[in-house]
Amino acid sequence: TTAHDYVLNSGSTLINKVNTNHKNTKASNCEKAQITKWIDTGAN
């Protein structure tokens, strides 16, 4: 896999863990936003 794919897959895994651990709380939404930003930064 490429580094790009690795970053996207890792980010998806983290988001799934956040969803599982926190459901739809404000904390999880904040974490998901941070993870998404990290994915976008890493992917580009």
One pLDDT digit (tens) per residue for the chain, 44 residues:
577 777 777 777 877 776 666 555 565 677 778 877 887 777 55
Determine the pLDDT at residue 39: 76
- What phi-psi label fits residue 4: left (phi over 0), alpha (psi between -120 and 50 degrees) or beta? alpha
Domain ranges of the chain: 3-43
Determine the pLDDT at residue 5: 76
Determine the pLDDT at residue 13: 80
CA distances, 22 to each of 27, 28, 43 (Å): 7, 6, 25
In degrees rounded to 5, what are phi and psi of residue 4?
-60, -50
Determine the pLDDT at residue 35: 77
pTM: 0.36
Angle subtended at Cα 37 by Cα 9 and Cα 20, rounded to the nearest 5 degrees: 55
